Amino acid sequence: MLFIPQKQDLPIILIVDDEAINRIILSEAVQDLGKLVEAETGEQALELADKLRPKVVLLDIDLPGIDGFEVCRRLKTNPSTSECAVVFVTSHSESSYEYHSLSQGGIDFIGKPIDLGLCRLRVKNQLILQQRTEALQVAKDDLHELVTQVPVFISCWSKKLENLFSNDFGGDWFGINAKAMTDQPMQHVFPASLYNLIQEKIQEGLPLGTFTVYMPERPNDIEYAQVYLTARRMQEEEIGFLLTLVDVTSVRRAKHDLMLEKERLKVTLNSIGDAVIATDTDGRVTFMNPIAERMTGMRSKEAEGEHIESVMNLCDADSKKPGINPIMLALQEKRIVAMALNSQLTAKSGEVYRVEDSAAPIRDDEGNIIGAIIVFHDVSESIAMAVKMSYLANHDQLTDLPNRILLHDRLGQACKQANSMGRQVAVFLIDVDHFKYLNDSLGHHHGDLIIKQVAKRLESLVDASATLARIGGDEFVLVVPGIRNSGIVDSIATAIVKEMADPFIIEAQEYRLSVSVGISLNPTDADDEESLMRHADVAMYRAKQEGRNRYCYFSEELEAKLLQRHNVELILRAAISNDALEVHYQPQIELNSGRIIGAEALVRLRDDKGGLISPIHFIPLAEETGLITQLGLQVMRKACMAASNWQQQGFDIRVSVNIAAKQFVESSLSDDVARLLEETKLSATQLELEVTESALMDNFEETQNILTNLVEMGVSIAIDDFGTGYSSLSYMKAFPINVLKIDQSFVRDMLLDKQSLDIVKTIAYLASSLGLTLIGEGIEEEQQKLALMDLNCELGQGYLFSKPLPLESFDKLLLAGQV
């Protein structure tokens, strides 16, 4: 075939001769040229030929029955064998025989005796001719099939422009099929617009080649055609023309529609009030409309090919931290991406815009992403107006302080947050004493100036977490969230009253004022904002009734607590000053053996009557008053002395001492520990310092340095109440920790609460994975001990073994050997 060559079978050669010797000779001559078949008679030859269809027949003339001439005639008249090449083989040399052979359809003549070489050559030539004839026919058929099926008009024309050939066998182009078109003049076939253009080019000697023609006649709705016209030449003489036509109507119409759509889109994008930027898949700019040019400060040609992040300088409006451009997110995540809130765009000129909107990937017809587009607009004025309106709606115009509306919102949020954190919110209602008299006598202008100064003084007393609001002519409300202890409330109230006692200078005149302050607490006094405000108002009037220039609490119980706190502070200071703090020791037990291997040192404080004051009352107080460092050093000294004595008596007992968070602020902690170890002659390996997770996180780097120094001395570090604080693996990795202590709240509930048990299991697994010693705190039941042992917890402490004991009692327990 013309396009796909096929494997050829060996040609069949039929040898017909009644004499065996001749057949042998002929077979010898052509044996390698094909597959040989022999016949002795004419009838036998015809039968084999009809069945096998040989390519060449070597035919003897003199045959019994039907002679060779008749065999040849029948082969040529049979459609199945008419194409075979008949070569006569005979001993006759007369010209009449040769003539008769050729007239019957023979194509060659071989005389006897047979020349083997000549015979082989003639047969080979006939086979080659047969192959070429067949290949030519196949190529012709292929070419006919090709020109029939291609959607192109192919035609051949004479020099006079008469049709010689056309592949439009169905008349699809001009309503005339190929057969009827033959010999027709071109002007009778083509529409005038096409014919005139072709004739003009030929007659005027214009370049032929390729051109497009518009046919208003629209034959078969063909409006535009691509013309390919070439001259046919033979021996340098022009003999005609080869002309092909391609229907490009749909392409031209599509291009026209696309151009119109493109122009319409361009006009739209250039006319809208939003900025539009398009990019390719790498985020490089391919289009910008005029609004985008103005807001970025770059011309479209200047920005084209540049990365979007170099064209759009985006950052957070508050932090100024650069952010990833939404177009890049849209390309990466293959979705529509809204621009980050509070986004700011800085133009090349330095002009700043607040912008918002979104970006989206651009997809082709098959859904493949071919780029992205971002649409954004300037919201600077809107945001500024919204901020201004919100500010005016929520702030007092005279003092710029929050008004009742904003106060209500802040107070509600503070109460919710405090309740979730287990803390309190304090509300201070502040009223200027006798302000009405002052305002009436001096005038409203002076009164406003005084109120402004009062506001400034109050603002100077509060931190950023508090809210100071003006709710009336001379009334202010201070909301302080996150109160941990009542002492802070007392301090703030005292500061307010004291600050207002200083004289006010208004236009060179001195005025003395005082305030009455009412205080209510959430959740002690009330659970909601309205009740808190009402209770603070009641307390404020109580302060006025008691003589003004003072503060009062709504809750008398709180006043009692403050008095109690004051008494405890006096006792604590005296105990520290007189070295009267007591240290009790709770044994730490090896759970498998029951052997005492350590003791936790716990500080105790006695009141004037000899009773013990709970640590929950004086430990937080020590932290608030700055006494915790002195308390901690005193406890550590006594604990180290006790452990040193145990060591001298032959007891290998390690003592654990709690370190408060504020002790880590003191950079001298490492030096203090080293000094106490040397002073008490205690080995560093016998001292363990217990710290809470929150204490570790207050000052990360400083704490890390302190712990590293302590561990290098040989001191062991334990995490106390593990699981109740940050429980972060990052600090477990960063800090040199030796021991984990399971908080007693988990141990207490582990047999009844599956969640607590799961937490204990997790802590045990973590300790095992990190190679840390595990201590269970608060063990009160045998089942708790057994459960911890099942989790490979080595050590434990709790009332099941012993409560914290005075030193003398603990010494007796050591002598007994086991608990």
Residue by residue, DSSP assigns 406-423 as HHHHHHHHHHHHHHHHT-
**Does residue 4 register a pLDDT over 60?**
no
Could you give the percent of the chain with pLDDT greater than 70?
A: 92
Whether the Cβ atoms of residue 483 and residue 425 lie closer than 8 Å to each other: yes
pLDDT tens-digit readout, 61-99: 888 888 888 888 888 888 888 888 888 887 776 666 667
Q: Which pLDDT band holds residue 135 (cuts at 50, 70, 90)?
A: confident
CATH C-level class of 12-146: alpha beta
pLDDT of residue 1: 47
Overall pTM surpassing 0.85 (yes/no): no
What would the mean pLDDT of 662-675 be, rounded to a whole number? 82
pLDDT tens-digit readout, 330-365: 899 889 887 666 788 888 888 988 888 788 898 988
> Which residues, other chains included, contact 156 with Cβ-Cβ below 8 Å and sequence gap of 6+?
163, 164, 165, 166, 232, 240, 241, 242, 243
Q: How many CA atoms lie within 13 Å of 779's alpha carbon, on the beta-carbon side?
A: 28
Task: From the options 3.30.70.2740, 3.20.20.140, 3.30.930.10, 3.20.20.450, give the CATH code of 588-603+628-814.
Answer: 3.20.20.450
**Does residue 697 register a pLDDT over 90?**
no
Structural domain boundaries in the chain: 12-146, 150-251, 272-384, 395-554, 588-603+628-814
150-251 and 272-384 agree in CATH topology: yes
Provide the 8-state DSSP code for 284.
B
- Where is pLDDT greater, at 76 or 561? 76
What would the mean pLDDT of 582-605 be, rounded to a whole number? 94
- For 153, counting Cβ atoms within 10 Å of its Cβ (0-12 exposed, 13-18 middle, 19+ buried), the class is buried
**Does residue 561 register a pLDDT over 70?**
no
pLDDT tens-digit readout, 158-216: 988 999 988 888 888 888 898 899 999 999 989 988 899 888 888 887 778 888 889 88
Domain 150-251: assigned CATH number: 3.30.450.20
Q: What share of the chain is helix, strand, coil (3-state, %, to 5)?
A: 45, 25, 30
CATH C-level class of 272-384: alpha beta
Q: How many CA atoms lie within 13 Å of 82's alpha carbon, on the beta-carbon side?
A: 4
CATH C-level class of 395-554: alpha beta
Give CA separation, 343 vs 183, 321, 339, 388, in Å: 77, 10, 7, 19
Find tokens 């015809």 and name the residue: 46
pLDDT tens-digit readout, 732-765: 777 888 999 998 989 999 998 889 898 899 889 8
The CA distance from 651 to 585, in Å, is 15
- Which candidate, 34, 30, 28, places its Cα nearest to that of 12? 34
DSSP string, 82-141: TTSEEEEEES---HHHHHHHHHTT--EEEESSP-HHHHHHHHHHHHHHHHHHHHHHHHHH
Whether the Cβ atoms of residue 115 and residue 130 lie closer than 8 Å to each other: no
For residue 523, is the peptide bond before it cis, meaning its omega torsion is within 30 degrees of 0? yes
Mean pLDDT of the chain: 85
Provide the 8-state DSSP code for 479.
E
